Amino acid sequence: MYIFLGIDVDNEFAEIKKKANIIDKNIGFKNSCFTLPMHISLKTSFKIDSSNFDSVIEEVMNYYSSIRPFKIDIYRLEMYDNIVWIRMCRNRELDKVHDDINRVLLEKHNIRLHEYDLDYKYHTTLFMDDNTHSIKEAYNMISKTELPQSIMAN
């Protein structure tokens, strides 16, 4: 079982989500990114045994309950390999959440850092697919969309 961790920003990106969802449906990606609320990814997904799922989720939720809302600046919309995402600027609060979650997962569940977590790129994924042409098409269709300068992580 894989776990993805993020900060819910669905309300913050409501307008771009509508546009991206239409593009997603028109292009027909194999796996839609809109089955979940829009979120800022906090770390590389990781695999766990299903018997540990409840315990891992409980630890993460306990940690999340200690976080106060904070501002995150938007860096830009990017196409990165087979992904179109909204990249976030690094900041002290975001780095702390990332580092704290990784520490909790290592100490309590022996979940080690993935190499991407060493220099993690905080982002909100809009599109992801193996078809490079489709990704480029989606990027071109959404690239002129105006993004907010900053959002609130709640």
What are the structural domains of the chain?
Answer: 2-153 (3.90.1140.10)
What mean pLDDT is reported for the chain? 92
Across 141-152, average pLDDT: 94
pLDDT score for 137 = 96
- The confidence band for 27, taking pLDDT boundaries of 50, 70 and 90, is very high
Say whether pLDDT at 48 is over 90.
no
**Cβ atoms of 21 and 33 closer than 8 Å:** no
Q: What is the mean pLDDT of residues 12-19?
A: 93
